[in-house]
Amino acid sequence: MSAQVCVLASSSRGNATAISFDTSGRFILVDAGLTPRGVRSALSQAQAVGSFHTLRAIFLTHLDRDHWSPAWTRQLNRAPVPVVVRAEHAEMALRLGVPKHCLRAVRGRFALGETAQAEAVEVPHDDVGSTAFRFDCESGSIGHATDLGAVEDCLIDAFNGLDLLSIESNYDLALQQASSRPWFLKRRIMGGRGHLSNDESAAAVARLAAGGTIRQLVLLHLSIECNRPAIAVEAMTAAVPALAATMVVSKPFEPSAVLRVRRMQENAATVPADLAALASSPLR
Ligand SMILES: [Zn+2]
């Protein structure tokens, strides 16, 4: 049994990552910035429809347009699955079209049926913050952090002992400063509540990789205008050379390969089965 991760798209034009915790074909989405049709087409482009055929839940890091497409409202009314948000985002989620009967507002750590545990961690982003998610299942631990202006100690603690880490590496400082973007936008992005630069992301990954468990690294949400994959890879390779060989750089409009997650640590996390299983529903 192995968990699988496929980044379907990652940029300010739309973000979505599919994760399955076993080989049943049931999967979750982290962010739904692609339309349901976009998700289907990315899965088929990745030749991953077999591994990810039944959507069981959507986890939203936050409600910006590139992470939540309003096209999901209709899909969810027709084929409801839980939409998981941090409690502080619940009101906004309802306002932006998440059907009330789908909404699950969470705090901290919670069980995902019998197959996995999840944890929602607040990270600084604009006024309302974004949410980093940690998932633990039998075959490994996965961390997903995007749209964060800074990496605080609480995130480093929450992401301890991961096997696969997906984290944004949004911009190159020099390209950002030289860009024609208005000063208020640059200040928003670089001011600690926007996005992580390549160097900030690399510093965070170095801290997280010090534990020695991370075997796969995925760079998310590279700015199309103010970053280049080669520059991001160079910064990351300098900080964590051991991960260079397996590093994956997500693309704005193209899915990644399907990445298999295997646990490095001897003691697999035990997953409590005390909470109700999340509903599942085919992705039509
Ligand atoms: Zn974003």
Q: Tell me, what CATH number does 16's domain have?
A: 3.60.15.10
Find the 101 Cα to ligand 1 centroid distance in Å.
Answer: 26
Q: Please report whether residue 282 resides in a domain.
A: no
pLDDT tens, the chain, 284 aa long: 689 999 999 999 999 999 999 989 999 999 999 999 999 999 999 999 989 999 999 999 999 999 999 999 999 999 999 999 999 999 999 999 999 999 999 999 999 988 899 999 999 999 999 999 999 999 999 999 999 999 999 999 999 999 999 999 999 999 999 999 999 999 999 999 999 999 999 999 999 999 999 999 999 999 999 999 999 999 999 999 999 999 999 999 999 999 999 887 554 444 443 334 444 444 44
Q: Please report whether residue 220 resides in a domain.
A: yes
The pTM of this model reads: 0.92
Q: How far is CA 264 from the centre of its chain?
A: 21
Residues with Cβ–ion distance below 5 A, ligand 1: 66, 147
Q: Please report whether residue 243 resides in a domain.
A: yes
| Per-residue confidence (pLDDT) for residue 146, from 0 to 100 | 98
Residue-range definition of the domain harbouring residue 242: 3-263
- Which distant-in-sequence residues (6+ apart) come within 8 Å of 104 by Cβ? 57, 82, 83, 84, 85, 278
Q: Please report whether residue 283 resides in a domain.
A: no
The total of structural domains in the chain comes to 1
Find the 264 Cα to ligand 1 centroid distance in Å.
Answer: 30
Q: How many helices (H) and strands (E) does the chain have?
A: 8, 15
Find the 178 Cα to ligand 1 centroid distance in Å.
Answer: 21
Find the 267 Cα to ligand 1 centroid distance in Å.
Answer: 35
Find the 142 Cα to ligand 1 centroid distance in Å.
Answer: 20
Find the 216 Cα to ligand 1 centroid distance in Å.
Answer: 22
Q: Please report whether residue 35 resides in a domain.
A: yes
Q: Please report whether residue 32 resides in a domain.
A: yes
Burial 134-157 (b: 16+ CB within 10 A, else e): bbbbbbbbbbbbbbbbbbeeebee
Q: Please report whether residue 281 resides in a domain.
A: no
